[in-house]
């Protein structure tokens, strides 16, 4: 009876040791999985931080590109306006009668105000007709025409308004 009891006790101890070993093995496996998951999380957090910095950098580059494009647009607009101004002055010199003197030109967007002096109303009318016939001006209107004396000579001071045709 003692031998059987001793055998049962040894089997019980071996079972407990085996059970503890299984639990230790399972715990070790779980700890390993936890460590792997924590390492993966840390790696993913590093990747997220890296991508956030890249995203920020990309946004900065997009802003820089937009700013540079705006500058290019302004430069191209200025070049176009410069060429347009030369065309306007050229056309005015072509359309201007000999008995007419231009005093000032004021441009506001597409509107152009022309001030000058002429010997008579007919010269102003001819100038307006020439401007209307030109392919560069539209809505040519006489704003003011008044007789003034300059160098003891009576002349007509005038102000015209017109629009520059956008091409």
Q: For residue range 91-144, what is the model confidence (pLDDT) as tens digits? A: 999 999 999 999 999 988 889 999 999 999 999 999 999 999 998 999 999 999
Average pLDDT over residues 51-67: 95
User: Could you tell me the two tokens for 11?
Assistant: 């089997």
Determine the pLDDT at residue 118. 95
- Helix residue ranges per DSSP H, the chain: 2-95, 121-133
Number of Cβ atoms within 10 Å of the Cβ of 125: 14
Determine the pLDDT at residue 1. 67
Determine the pLDDT at residue 167. 66
Phi first, then psi, for residue 68 (nearest 5°) are -65, -40
**Cα–Cα distance between 166 and 111 in angstroms, integer?**
11
pLDDT confidence bin for 74, thresholds 50/70/90: confident
pLDDT for 148 beyond 80: yes
Overall pTM > 0.85:
no
pLDDT for 7 beyond 90: no
pLDDT, mean over the chain: 92
pLDDT for 68 beyond 80: yes
Average pLDDT over residues 139-159: 93
């Amino acid at each position: 009876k003692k031998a059987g009891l001793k055998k049962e006790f040894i089997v019980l101890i071996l079972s407990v040791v085996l059970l503890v070993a299984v639990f230790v093995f399972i715990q070790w496996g779980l700890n390993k999985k936890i460590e792997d998951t924590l390492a993966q999380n840390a790696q993913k957090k590093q990747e997220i931080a890296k991508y956030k910095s890249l995203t920020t950098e990309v946004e900065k580059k997009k802003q820089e590109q937009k700013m540079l494009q705006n500058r290019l647009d302004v430069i191209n607009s200025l070049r176009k306006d410069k060429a347009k101004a030369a065309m306007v002055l050229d056309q005015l010199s072509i359309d201007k009668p000999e008995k007419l003197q231009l005093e000032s030109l004021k441009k506001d967007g597409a509107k152009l105000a022309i001030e000058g002096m002429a010997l008579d109303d007919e010269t102003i009318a001819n100038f307006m007709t020439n401007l209307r016939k030109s392919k560069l001006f539209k809505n040519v209107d006489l704003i003011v025409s008044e007789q003034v004396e300059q160098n003891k000579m009576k002349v007509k001071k005038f102000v015209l308004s017109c629009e520059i045709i956008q091409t």
